[in-house]
Amino acid sequence: MQLRKIDYLEAIRMEKHSPNCAACVDCKSSNDQIELSKLGEKGCKGLIGASDCLTVQPGQYVHKECRRQYCHPSNDRTPQNTEDNFHRLQRRCRTEENKFDFIENCFFCGTVAKIASNKRGNDVFPVRTLEFQNNVRDFCKRRTDEWSENVIGRLEYAQDLPAVEARYHQKCSINFRTGRSLPIQYRSIQTQTYKKGRPSSRNADTAFQHIMEYLEERVNDQVTISDLVHQMQELCGEEAYSTVYMKKEIIDFFGCEIINSELDGKPNVIPFKGTADSILHSFHRSSSKANTESEKNAVIKTAAKLIIKDIKDMQFSKEIYPSVDEMITIETNKKYVPSSLMLFLEHLVTSKNADTKTIAIGQSIVQSAIPRGAILPLQLGFGVQIHHHFGSKFVVDTLNSLGFSSSYTEVQKYEAAAATNWSIGIEKEQTDKAFQCVADDVDHNLATVDGHNTFHGMGIIATILPGVKSSRVIPRLSSTTEDLLSVGKINVTLYSPLINNFSTLTFQSLNEVNDVIDQTQNLEQLVDISRPLKTQCPSWSGFMQTTQTGRHPGKSTVLFLPMIDLNSSDLSCIYSSLDFVATQAKTLSVSPIVTFDQPLYWKSVQMVMNEPENSTIKAMVIRLCGFHTQMSFLGCIGHLMQNSGLQELIDTVYATNTVTHMLSGKEVSRAVRGHILVDSALKSLLVERVFSTGLSE
């Protein structure tokens, strides 16, 4: 006898009843008013004949109407979503599954999986664990639809998917677990109906209209096609358009008013053209029958549209950051504000420094109009300066929310990019200048509560006279911690002295200069005479200006070199600093000159003297810094003039304890002032004796 499939959920209900049960095996209703019929042997054969897996026994009861509908050939038995029904689904008929090949076909969709040279395709994965099989069984329990019936039937037939080497398509697995329908490309060929073009859907058309209204309301915003597709998916689900089809429909809907562009690394940005002609025509149409107040509002709105149009027409580069010159120069900052906006603000701002205020307000408006479309120099420079002085994320983000600076994230990104793009070497065009390095200890408190674990290291700078201007292009790239650690690094070398030649330290005598005319030979004597006489004469700086000719070379350029994370008094730290400076000087073909304070100077001189002749630091010129040189000079005067009455003389002006420090070279400023007073007093007495001027009176 030819068997046909039945509703397995209803079969569960019939099979759950034991024999002689008063309830109906079909609908499980126990209402006495419904006419029941007791099944005999012939009735059982009729029910079994209508199914291929139903088991009934004589003596059970069934409603007559239920049995008639159940055995009707055209009856549509829709499964009911109940917990008990699922367990009965596992016992479905396996007539069709006996022909299923788990090795060749996907157990989700039943189509052939791609196999080439005994290797699975890119979208085909084998089942390796029973945990995956149990998860699929749980998803079948949740779905309870036709697709889940087929999958649970295959699971019950195989029992162990890894053992039968079952495989599946990744796309099928995702759709099944996320509640979606069977992928189109894996549906049976007999069930697919192909039509030319995209199938129309009422929900999709309605959702598209909502998306277009949303886009028209945000003409001044920068919206990507991906954002629109995502919003459409929230409205109509799987019927949403793809990115390519959405782009085509938007162009067809708006026509020539849309510009397709890419901005800030986001493709397919949808900006509107909004030409000046169309804006003005729209203004005239709207103001033809308007009153005075409405016309005023229309003029303001039209002016705003024209300014927005000019802002969007400007070309901004977000691949590189603005240079320092663009941040501090007014003329370069004007390039970031359209002429129409400048004209508008010039009629509003009429106070002092109008140009600076106009440019600042204009760049704030431009940044607010296209927040992700440009990086403006004043916004970025102000944010970096605030972060440098205060280091507060709250302050920077607050100013950014008010439209006055870049965001805290952008400031950090700029600082990291500038540090990564920075080079520790000296540029070649700077080698014809006077060049020397200065090294000293660096102490930095890392905001610790107890004051411990502070940073102590060696800092190095390079000074160049006359100063040079250099401008670097900083690309706008994301920098990681590894990138920052790879630049600005000085290799630390362990110092181990080989010999000790410091006992033979001698200073070379300086050659006398006889062929140079000293123009200030009699200047000191002139000052010594004119100052006590209280004549009208210039000060020390005035005397220097009268004796010097030519232009001053200007201020020096200071370049910050890397720091060494070691104690500055450590011998290895000092040796690494000397080796770094010597290597840089050798690369630039200049003399290696480095300046230290007194303790570091003493240790570095010992190192240079103990190095062999072929050492890289043997040719180093070690200089004592000017401040410590002055301290040493003042200390020498105090040492030589002991018991000469100098201390008692200065004691008449300064306190006794202060005089002790002045003569030892510690109180530099007071010592210089005290010696000048003593010198002036002695010179006044000499002038009085020579010229009999009576200065003492």
- Where are the chain's structural domains? 8-88, 95-186, 202-273, 282-313, 324-421, 428-468+495-505+550-624, 629-691
Q: Give yes or no for residue 484 having a pLDDT over 50.
A: yes
CATH code for the structural domain at 202-273: 1.10.10
Given the DSSP bridges, would you call strands 266-270 and 223-224 parallel, antiparallel or unpaired? Answer: antiparallel
pTM over 0.85: no
Banded pLDDT at 23 (limits 50, 70, 90):
very low
* Residue listed under structure tokens 């100098």: 646
Q: Give yes or no for residue 405 having a pLDDT over 80.
A: yes
**496: which residues sit within 8 A by CB, 6+ positions away?**
none
Q: Give yes or no for residue 489 having a pLDDT over 50.
A: yes
Q: Which residues of 644-673 are buried (b: 16+ CB within 10 A; e: fewer)?
A: eebbebbeeebeeebbebbbebebbebbee
Q: Give yes or no for residue 173 having a pLDDT over 60.
A: yes
CA-CA distance, 338 to 313, in Å (whole number)? 9
Residue 87: per-residue pLDDT: 47
The three-state secondary structure class of 459 is: strand
CA-CA distance, 191 to 397, in Å (whole number)? 58
Angle at which helix 598-610 crosses helix 626-640, to 10 degrees, equals 100
Q: Give yes or no for residue 90 having a pLDDT over 60.
A: no
Task: Please state, as a whole number, how many other Cβ atoms lie within 10 Å of the Cβ of residue 688.
Answer: 15
The three-state secondary structure class of 441 is: strand
Q: What is the mean pLDDT of the chain?
A: 76
Residue 264: per-residue pLDDT: 45
The three-state secondary structure class of 282 is: helix
Rg over CA atoms, the chain: 46
Q: Once rounded to an integer, what is the mean pLDDT over residues 422-448?
A: 72
Q: Once rounded to an integer, what is the mean pLDDT over residues 178-183?
A: 81
Q: Is 220 exposed, middle or buried (0-12, 13-18, 19+ CB in 10 A)?
A: middle
Q: Which residues of 12-45 are buried (b: 16+ CB within 10 A; e: fewer)?
A: bbbeebeeeeebbbbbeeeeeeeebbebeeebbe
Q: Is 358 exposed, middle or buried (0-12, 13-18, 19+ CB in 10 A)?
A: buried
Q: Give yes or no for residue 664 having a pLDDT over 80.
A: yes
- Residues found in the chain: 697
CA-CA distance, 412 to 562, in Å (whole number)? 20
Residue 220: per-residue pLDDT: 55
Task: With CA atoms as reference, report the closest residue to 151 among 201, 193, 92.
Answer: 92
pLDDT digits (tens, 9 = 90+) for 413-423: 998 888 887 76
Give the DSSP letter string of 597-620. Answer: -HHHHHHHHHHHHHS-TT-TTTT-
Higher pLDDT, 134 or 542: 134
* Backbone φ and ψ of 558, nearest 5°: -110, 120
CA-CA distance, 300 to 293, in Å (whole number)? 11
Quick one: CA dihedral 235, 240, 246, 252, positive or negative?
A: negative
Could you report how far apart the first and last alpha carbons of the chain are, in Å?
148
Task: With CA atoms as reference, report the closest residue to 162 among 103, 114, 119, 118.
Answer: 103
Residue 439: per-residue pLDDT: 92
Q: Is 384 exposed, middle or buried (0-12, 13-18, 19+ CB in 10 A)?
A: buried
Q: Give yes or no for residue 638 having a pLDDT over 80.
A: yes
The three-state secondary structure class of 387 is: helix
CA-CA distance, 532 to 430, in Å (whole number)? 47
Element (H, E) at 463: strand 455-465
Residue 315: per-residue pLDDT: 84
Banded pLDDT at 546 (limits 50, 70, 90):
confident
Q: Give yes or no for residue 21 having a pLDDT over 60.
A: no
Most confident of 70-79, 100-109, 378-387, 457-466: 378-387
Residue 190: per-residue pLDDT: 37
* Backbone φ and ψ of 266, nearest 5°: -110, 115
Banded pLDDT at 99 (limits 50, 70, 90):
low
Residue 533: per-residue pLDDT: 67
Higher pLDDT, 20 or 529: 529
Residue 384: per-residue pLDDT: 92
Residue 114: per-residue pLDDT: 66
> 102 near 166, Cβ under 8 Å?
yes
Farthest CA pair distance, the chain:
158
Q: Give yes or no for residue 469 having a pLDDT over 60.
A: yes
Task: With CA atoms as reference, report the closest residue to 151 among 128, 132, 123, 129.
Answer: 132
Q: Give yes or no for residue 32 having a pLDDT over 80.
A: no
Banded pLDDT at 200 (limits 50, 70, 90):
low
Q: Once rounded to an integer, what is the mean pLDDT over residues 358-383?
A: 89
Higher pLDDT, 571 or 203: 571
pLDDT digits (tens, 9 = 90+) for 228-277: 888 888 888 777 888 888 888 887 776 655 655 444 445 566 655 555 55
> 88 near 79, Cβ under 8 Å?
no
Quick one: CA dihedral 494, 498, 503, 508, positive or negative?
A: negative
* Residue listed under structure tokens 């002609």: 277
Residue 505: per-residue pLDDT: 65
Q: Is 611 exposed, middle or buried (0-12, 13-18, 19+ CB in 10 A)?
A: buried
CA-CA distance, 44 to 38, in Å (whole number)? 10
Higher pLDDT, 3 or 544: 544
Higher pLDDT, 223 or 349: 349
Banded pLDDT at 194 (limits 50, 70, 90):
very low
Higher pLDDT, 224 or 305: 305
Higher pLDDT, 514 or 583: 583
Q: Once rounded to an integer, what is the mean pLDDT over residues 320-329?
A: 85
Q: Which residues of 501-535 are buried (b: 16+ CB within 10 A; e: fewer)?
A: eeeeeeeeeeeeeeeeeeeeeeeeeebbbebbeee
